[in-house]
Amino acid sequence: MYQILKKQKLNPFVTLMEVKAKDVAKNAKPGQFIILRVDEKGERIPLTIADTDIERESVTIIYQIVGLTTKKLDKLNEGDYLLDFVGPLGKPTDISLLKDVLVIGGGVGSAICLPVVKALKLQGSKVDVILGFRSMDLVILEDEFLKYSNNLLIVTNDGSYGKKGLVTDYLSLYLDKKKYDQVFTVGPLIMMKSVCEITKKYGQKTIVSMNPIMIDGTGMCGGCRITVGNEFKFACVDGPDFDGHLVDFDEAIYRNKMYQEIEREKDCRLLKNE
């Protein structure tokens, strides 16, 4: 059992949770993820590690309430326990040789970018950050990104905060000025796809972090398979980071919808039981 040490709402749909998990905390690196199960009848879901604290023996996750499991998860409070919490899974994001990086986060994907931005800053790299949200009330982690980036641009779709529009509306302004060692982007699949289409035109190397449906996270189920440059990859063990110019996003978008209909039915049941 894994105790929840802290729970904090970052916006109406996104929550931060610090969970006690000593061994995971000790070995986790930026870009890796965990798999958790809320209760005995729950499913296993992957969530990216947002932070770790070795002294507190804790791992921080940030999740958006999107389906049945995140809804159940959000019902738990500080002091409660998660049934299962396993990791760190996947390969860490490789930042060792990077000196100048542009990071683009979308919505809750921004949370996944934060540990990478932090690690880059700590190794002395320059980091520009663009974050996109639907509106002002959904903006998260602004202070943290201000602290660890050299330059932060926030974009909201409705213009209620920062610049108005989509992150991709501003991307070219950055790429026109210079070539980065790497662009790193995490967000909705459709956003990552659009970012990659633009960076490809510039010949700008771009890494994306994929978060497909999976069960075990160790390569056993094969449910997380994606196509990368006509090759077959398991996101859980070969990724989650991949060369964004080689990822078949259309396929990934379809695969992520595999259980949408069933999820909706199960959701209704949860509501009925309440």
Partner 1 sequence: MNRRVEMRVLDPEIRIKSFQEVALGYLPDEAKLEAERCLECKNALCIKGCPVGIDIPSFIKQIKEGNLKEAYKIITKQNKFPGICGRVCPQETQCESKCIRGKKGEPIAIGRLERFVSDNVEIDEEELPTIQYEKVAIIGSGPAGLACSGELAKLGYEVHMFEALHVAGGVLTYGIPEFRLPKRIVKKEIDLLEKMGVQIHLNTIIGKTKTISDLFNEGFKAIFIGTGAGLPKFMGIPGENLNGVYSANEFLTRLNLMKAYNEEYDTPIRKMKRVIVVGGGNVAMDAARCAKRLNVEDVTIVYRRSEKEMPARLEEIHNAKEEGINFSFLTNPIRIIADENFNVKEVECIRMELVDTGNGRAKPVEVPNSNFFLPADTVIMAIGNHPNPLISSTTQDLKVNDHGCFIVDDNLMTSMENVYAGGDAVTGAATVILAFSAGKKAALSIHKKLRGINE
- Cβ contacts of residue 153 below 8 Å, gap of 6+? 128, 129, 130, 131, 162, 163, 170
Q: Which of 197, 223, 245, 246 binds partner 1 (CB under 8 A)?
A: 223
- Asked if residue 5 lies in contact with residue 67, where contact means CB atoms within 8 angstroms, the answer is no
Type of residue at 30: P
Residue number with CB closer to partner 1 (53 or 251): 251
Instruction: Report d(CA 164, CA 133) in Å as an integer.
Output: 10
Q: How far is the CB of 75 from partner 1 (least distance, A)?
A: 13
Please calculate the CA angle 76-188-15 and round it to the nearest 5 degrees: 20
Among 5, 81, 84, 188, binds partner 1 (CB under 8 A): 84
- Does 23 contact partner 1 by CB under 8 A? yes
CB of residue 159 vs partner 1: minimum separation in angstroms? 35
Token look-up 């108005």 returns: 164
Do residues 93 and 116 touch, judged by C-beta distance below 8 A?
Answer: yes
Q: Which one of 153, 226, 228, 235 is in contact with partner 1 (CB under 8 A)? A: 226
Residue from 11, 119, 225, 242 in contact with partner 1 (CB under 8 A) = 225
- Residue 20 or 101: the one with the smaller Cβ distance to partner 1 is 20
Q: How many residues bind partner 1 (CB under 8 A)?
A: 40
* 125/193 with CB nearer partner 1: 193
Residue 20 binds partner 1, judged by CB under 8 A: no
CB of 245 to partner 1, least distance (A): 19
DSSP H or E run through 253? helix 249-256
Strand ordering across the sheet containing 163-164 = 163-164, 151-156, 126-133, 100-106, 182-186, 206-209, 241-243
57 binds partner 1 (CB under 8 A): no
Residue ranges in contact with partner 1 by CB under 8 A: 23-24, 27, 37, 41-44, 68-69, 72, 83-89, 215-216, 218-223, 225-227, 232, 237, 251, 254-255, 257-259, 262-263, 266
